[in-house]
Amino acid sequence: MFKFFRNIRHNMIKNNKTGQYLKYAIGEIILVVIGILIALSINNWNEKRKDRVLEKEYLTRLLEDIKFDISWSNTYILDRYKRKVESLENGKAYYQGNYVIKDTLQFLQDIGYGGVFGYAALNLNKNTYNELISTGNLRKIESDKLRNEIVNYYENSNAKSKASRNYISGYINFTNSFTAFNANNPGIIAEFDQKLLLKHLKTEEYYRLANLELTLAHRVSNFAEDIIILAKELTTTINSQLED
């Protein structure tokens, strides 16, 4: 093909057809430019297609992560919240002399339950988001609104996760120091340990720790509810993007 065009140019110059040659040269330049533009257009289209495929993959993974966040917040925080608060309130009532124990072992097991999700309560799945940030692929999310909503969700959840650690009370360490916890036999408390723990439930130290743990319970429960609201809103936005 190139040899053919070279021959045409050579013949024009040889026959002193300068005007025709100039027109031909301009036409050839235009053809080359058009070819380059077409190639660039095809390349851009192909890159955009790849970006959309990658975007869909990330959004699908984000949906799974957010689904985990909702499930975890419900299962490990909100579903346990009521019993946790009740156990702590019963412990405070016992300290105040307003609670009559009917079953000592069950009562002390409930006292131990007051410490659930007492360590760094919020545990959310940030794997996909962390990858988006570390690789710079967050820009692959085409919608500015969706991209901002994703960032807002994870900034909020990170802030709440960090804040929850500020409310760790030491309640679990206190109860475990008198009744060693065995995950294989969580309901077992030796008779001597039962008496010792009952004695220390009447101390001001226990009462103070119970109040701190209640503060953690209320605060983390609020955090979990907020995260679920944001998670559901983000899920709706992502699904809308995937359906387009």
Give pLDDT tens digits for 42-72. 666 666 778 788 999 999 999 999 999 999 9
Residue 10 has a pLDDT of: 56
The token pair at 120 is 């760094």
SS (H, E, C) 192-230: HHHHHHHHHCCCHHHHHHHHHHHHHHHHHHHHHHHHHHH
Residue 4 has a pLDDT of: 47
Residue 72 has a pLDDT of: 94
CA distance 111 to 118: 13
The token pair at 150 is 């994703």
Residue 17 has a pLDDT of: 52
> What is the DSSP code (8-state) at residue 18?
H
CA distance 87 to 129: 37
Average pLDDT across the chain, whole number: 87
CA distance 214 to 17: 96
Give pLDDT tens digits for 61-105. 999 999 999 999 999 999 999 999 999 999 999 999 999 999 999
More confident residue, 56 or 40: 56
The token pair at 31 is 């053809």
- Judged against a pLDDT cut of 70, whether residue 165 lies above it is answered with yes
